[in-house]
A and B are shown apart, each in its own frame.
Chain A
Amino acid sequence: MKAIHKILGFVWILLSILIAYYILSTSVTEISAGVPEDASIFWPIIIFIFLPILVGLALFGYYSIKGEYD
């Protein structure tokens, strides 16, 4: 189980980075295109909410690598 936690820890860190990249790149694309119309409202809210959560997911991954859940 320790080995699984260690591997998964890297997975969670990678996942948090990928999701953050997706959110930021999609928001920039849609806001600059102005399509859809609510992009300038929708994406700032998503960024404000989910980026701290993604930091938490990365931290969870770090704790997992360090064996905190073993």
Chain B
Amino acid sequence: MPKTKQTGIWTVITSSSVGTLIEWYDFYIFGSLATILSVQFFPQDNPTIAFLNTLLTFAAGFIVRPFGALVFGRLGDIVGRKYTFLVTLILMGGSTFLIGLIPSYERIGYLAPALVLFLRLVQGLALGGEYGGAATYVAEHSPPGKRGFYTSWIQTTATLGLFLSLIIILMTRTGIGEEAFREWGWRIPFLVSSVLVGVSIYIRVKMAESPVFAKLKKEGKTSTNPLKESFGKRENLKMVLLALFGATMGQGVIWYTGQFYAMSFIQKTCNIDHVQVNYIIVAALLLGTPFFILFGWLSDKVGRKWIMMLGMLLGVLLYRPIYTAMYNLADLDKKTELVDQYKIERHVEAWEEDPSKQIVTITATQYFSDGTQVKEIKHELDGALHGPVIKGTVLDDAGFWKMILLIFVQVIFVTMVYGPIAAFLVELFPTRIRYTSMSLPYHVGNGIFGGLTPAIATRFFEDSKNAANPGGDPLAGLTYVILVAAVCFIIGVFYLKNSYNTEES
């Protein structure tokens, strides 16, 4: 393999990572704003169904990722990595920008959710082509002994993309106010994407093709039908299946549980104030992200398998106690309310839409002995309720930091399963079909098993409600995650080798 100078590899990593980060940001602002989007784009006669439909639209973007993997993986193995990169970035940026322009359900009816779904599918196709290319591109510039370390920088981009989406949402929310954000400000993070994508396209146009692939192409050894070679030949197909069931399936559910499900859980089940939710998730992600690099580096020293398997095992064993602790932190039944401190504040101001009318903001605050507060904010216009009632629990400082710790631990599990996996997948397959072969199990594991985690977990929770337990089992959603990760752990332990090296690697 041609060796790349130290400065060259960092340019490669930076240029690949920036574009991938932006694509993750584009993908994740949808999920981060799922609660608001369910109100904007779906009929509100049943808010739970509206939210589930939003989650399914969110999930639709994940479901098509494997198809994107096939389409763009094939393109990347025939034409080249660089060209494919540019196409995926343009598709992702364009669809994200357009989501920000779609009128609400109130204005255009069912055309609204139909357009959202279509653009979400385009996002999913684009992302399906992005990651395999980015990981392959960096890995093909890396020497074997440092492949885990160098590709781990790509592994940070998904979390950093989520982090960036939360930061931009938080800044927009606090900048323009909650009501304005819920009405129209939520569009800003989608529209901002166009600027970020423009920068990424500028960077990527300047990139050179992967030297390994360029050499292969020069020698006339590229595949003419990577799909047939990847999935039509037993020696490759069996490795695709092993990569899925022994690695990416479990990695996908651990990844989404530790980040998206955790966020959804504290927001919807624990009913934590949404601004505090963002701070908690951002803090946990910031603290945990360096561990992607650590475990990627470590996998170069001790092998990929056991780090990934340990991350899965810890998730299987510890998710229930962790989520029980999270739930208890916000469980008001376990707290003592200071009834005499209950406070109602009224704020009257002219209504923006009709200054002759007055809108009343009523904030009711409950105080608890441990410092927890529960705030309920509603607006009245002409004596009638105007807009949604927003209620949220604001944890005290101790509870806030404990919640960060509980999610940080889950992020560590994520870094263990995800840090080494790019190098692991690259090493499983030969160069001529690498982009195609590694992309499919990656996106099935993450896009389908992981991406459907919020929808399936929410469904398990709703199904746990009955006459004897109308509130349901708050931990019911973890059943799916734990079972999938456990099966993947068993397969990984008994079937995976600690290292793989194809002749081109």
Task: Report the Cα distance A53→B484, complex, angstroms.
Answer: 13
Q: Are B245 and A37 in contact (CB under 8 A)?
A: no
B45-53, B200-208, B409-417, B425-433: which one contacts chain A? B45-53
Interchain CB contact under 8 A, A69 and B63: no
Residue B56, interface by CB 8 Å: yes
B347: interface (CB < 8 Å): no
In the complex, are the beta carbons of A69 and B444 less than 8 A apart? no
> A56–B440 Cα gap in the complex (Å)?
13
The answer to whether A68 touches B53, judged by C-beta atoms less than 8 angstroms apart, is no
Contact across chains for B444 and A53 when beta carbons are under 8 A apart: yes
A45-B56 contact in complex given A1-B494, A8-B494, A53-B448, C-beta closer than 8 Å: yes
- Chain B residues with CB under 8 A of A64: 495
A4 to B53 alpha-carbon distance, docked (Å): 43
Taking a contact as CB atoms under 8 Å apart, the answer to whether A15 and B52 are in contact is no
Assess the A68–B462 pair: CB atoms within 8 A.
no
> Bound complex: CA of A3 vs CA of B242, how far in Å?
18
Q: A12: which B residues are within 8 A, CB to CB?
A: 245, 491
Q: Is B107 an interface residue (CB 8 A)?
A: no
Contact with B along A9-36 (1 / 0, CB 8 A): 0001001000000000000000000001
Interface 1/0 per residue, A42-57 and B, CB below 8 Å: 1001000110010011
Contacts of A57 in B (CB 8 A): 245
In the complex, are the beta carbons of B49 and A37 less than 8 A apart? yes
A56/B494 in contact, CB under 8 A: no
Contact (Cβ within 8 A) B242 A42: no
Q: Out of B234, B241, B245, B495, which one reaches A5, CB within 8 Å?
A: B495
- Chain A residues near B455 (CB, 8 Å)? 42
User: In the complex, what distance in Å separates the CA atom of A30 from the CA atom of B448?
Assistant: 22
User: B residues within 8 A CB of A69?
Assistant: 238, 242, 495
CB atoms of A42 and B238 under 8 A apart:
no
Give a binary string over B32-52; 1 marks a CB under 8 Å from any A CB, 0 the rest: 000000000000001001001
Chain B residues with Cβ under 8 A from A4's Cβ? 494
Query: Which of A8, A49, A56, A68 touches B244 (beta carbons < 8 Å)?
Result: A56
In the complex, the answer to whether A49 meets B452 with C-beta atoms within 8 Å is yes
Taking a contact as CB atoms under 8 Å apart, the answer to whether A49 and B448 are in contact is yes
**B234 / chain A contacts, CB cutoff of 8 Å:** 63, 68
Q: Which residues of B contact A63 (CB under 8 A)?
A: 234, 238, 241
Chain B residues with Cβ below 8 Å from A50 are 448
- Nearest chain A residue, comparing its CB with the CB of B455: A42
Known: A36-B462, A53-B444. A45 touches B63 (CB 8 A): yes
A1-B494, A63-B238, A69-B495 known; A15 vs B487 contact (CB < 8 Å): yes
In angstroms, Cα B237 to Cα A63, docked, is 10
* Residues in chain B near residue A37, CB distance under 8 A: 46, 49
Q: A49-B448, A68-B234 are in contact. Are A42 and B459 (CB under 8 A)?
A: yes
Q: Which of A8, A38, A49 contacts B53 (CB 8 A)?
A: A38
Kindly provide the distance from the CB of B481 to the nearest chain A CB, expressed in whole angstroms.
15
Q: How far is the CA of A59 from the CA of B455 in the complex (A)?
A: 27
Are A38 and B241 interface neighbours, CB within 8 A? no
Closest to B53 in A: A38
A8→B246 CA distance, assembly (Å) = 13
Contact indicator B494/A5 (Cβ below 8 Å):
yes
Contact residue among A38, A45, A60 (Cβ-Cβ distance under 8 Å from B245): A60
Q: Do residues A59 and B53 form an inter-chain contact, with CB atoms below 8 A?
A: no
Task: Looking at the assembled complex, report how far the CB atom of B200 sits from the nearest CB atom of chain A, in whole angstroms.
Answer: 30
Interchain nearest-CB distance for B33 vs A (Å): 20
Please state if A49 and B462 are interface contacts (CB–CB under 8 Å).
no
B71-97: contact bitstring with A at CB < 8 Å (1 yes, 0 no)?
A: 000000000000000000000000000
B309 to chain A, nearest CB (A): 16
Contact present for A42 and B56 (CB under 8 Å): yes
Residue of chain A at shortest CB distance from B444: A53
Measured between C-beta atoms, what is the minimum distance from A68 to chain B in Å?
5
Q: How far is the CB of B251 from chain A (nearest CB, A)?
A: 15
Do the beta carbons of B242 and A60 come within 8 Å of each other? yes
Which single residue of chain A is at the shortest CB-CB distance from B497? A69
Residues of A with C-beta under 8 A to B49: 36-38
A38 touches B52 (CB 8 A): yes
In the docked arrangement, what's the CA distance between A1 and B495, Å?
9
Complex: A41 Cα to B418 Cα, angstroms: 32
Residue of A nearest to B46 (CB): A37
Contact in complex: A60, B241 (CB < 8 Å)? yes
**Alpha-carbon distance A45/B63, docked complex (angstroms):** 9
Q: Which residues of A contact B241 (CB under 8 A)?
A: 56, 59-60, 63
Chain A residues whose CB sits within 8 angstroms of the CB of B245 once the complex forms: 12, 56-57, 60
4 A-B pairs besides A38-B56, A63-B241, A69-B495 with CB distance below 8 A are A8-B494, A36-B462, A45-B59, A69-B238
Q: Which 8 A-B pairs have the closest CB atoms?
A: A60-B241, A63-B238, A68-B238, A69-B495, A60-B245, A38-B49, A37-B49, A38-B52
Chain B residues with a Cβ under 8 A of chain A: 46, 49, 52-53, 56, 59, 63, 234, 237-238, 241-242, 244-245, 444, 448, 452, 455, 459, 462, 487, 490-491, 494-495
11 residue pairs bridging A and B, Cβ less than 8 Å apart: A1-B494, A12-B245, A12-B491, A36-B49, A36-B462, A37-B49, A45-B56, A59-B237, A63-B241, A64-B495, A68-B234
